Amino acid sequence: MELHSEKRSAFDLEKMIRKLMENENYDIKEVAKACGVTVPTIKKYERVARVEPEKVAKAKEAGVGIHGLTDINESKINEGLKDNIFDRYLNNEFKTKTLGYIKRATNETVFKDIATINSANECLEEIIQSNPQNYEIVKTILYKHRLLVSYDKSSHSEIHNSNLKHMQEILKNLALTNYVQFLTPKQKNDYKIFEQKLNQFLNPPRVNSGFPIEVKLVKKSQKKRSSVREMGKDLS
């Protein structure tokens, strides 16, 4: 196989590396030198070469980035979820950057704690739909879905800190005189509605248990039997 001369596309280089990997004795430094690329670049393409050839061919046909395939392949999720994400990647439903976030997220301990496949799928779906611009957004989604499964101290703390951070930003905006002074009555009412909802979440109405009702019924029944006895005495 010719290793030098003309410039190669990402897919050409991947194909070449895949072929070379069939020989366990190839020298990665020599390959990098012959191809005019760095050793880290060759290592990166080695990872791509571990992806199924059929998927690489489909990615080439769809015109999507080849290295996104590596992120999908190395994500800690089942094959069904990988195939779903792969198909959507081919349809350009999200960027390669999002795949990097998905791979990183699935390697988090908190993701492993999201036990069921459905929960994992819903979590990944929200990550995709949010089109995250940074990993902090992804982490918040992870912690939220972890708490949807069950209480977790670490996730609880992270969500609390995230909420406080957002509230601090809101307070900074409310400190803008030229914002507050020109709020319409409707806009002010929006804040009041939010305040009411916040209060409802923090101080939910108590749900009475059945115990007091049962006690009341027992007392009522006892009182009724007592009245019947009294009536019996009067008639005797």
Q: What is the pLDDT of residues 102-122, one digit of tens each?
A: 999 999 999 989 877 788 999
Which tens digits make up the pLDDT trace of 162-191? 999 999 999 999 999 999 999 999 999 999
Considering the chain, what percentage of its residues have pLDDT values greater than 70?
82
pLDDT (mean) for 50-79: 91
Between these two residues, 103 and 209, which has the higher pLDDT value?
Answer: 103
pLDDT at 235: 42
Q: How far is CA 138 from CA 86, 104, 145, in A?
A: 19, 9, 11
Range ranked top by mean pLDDT from 4-8, 33-37, 125-129, 226-230: 125-129
The band of 225, judged by pLDDT with boundaries at 50, 70 and 90, is: low
Token pair 């499964």 in the structure block, residue: 149
Between these two residues, 156 and 64, which has the higher pLDDT value?
Answer: 156
DSSP state of 127: H
pLDDT at 1: 45
Alpha-carbon span 125 to 93, nearest angstrom = 11
Cβ pair 64, 90 in contact under 8 A: yes
The per-residue DSSP string of 71-115 comes to HHHTSSS-HHHHHHHHHHHHTTSS-HHHHHHHHHHHTSHHHHTS-
pLDDT at 230: 54
pLDDT (mean) for 147-167: 96
DSSP state of 116: S
pLDDT at 214: 47
Give the residue from 19, 25, 64 showing the smallest Cα distance to 46: 19
DSSP state of 183: -
Alpha-carbon span 56 to 49, nearest angstrom = 9
pLDDT at 160: 98
Which tens digits make up the pLDDT trace of 121-144? 999 999 999 999 999 999 999 999
pLDDT at 190: 97
HSE toward the beta carbon, residue 15, CA cutoff 13 A = 12
pLDDT (mean) for 144-150: 94
pLDDT (mean) for 5-11: 65
Give the residue from 61, 63, 83 showing the smallest Cα distance to 72: 83
Alpha-carbon span 211 to 214, nearest angstrom = 5
DSSP state of 206: P
Helices (H), 114-205: 117-130, 135-149, 153-174, 177-180, 185-202
Which tens digits make up the pLDDT trace of 191-207? 999 999 999 999 998 87
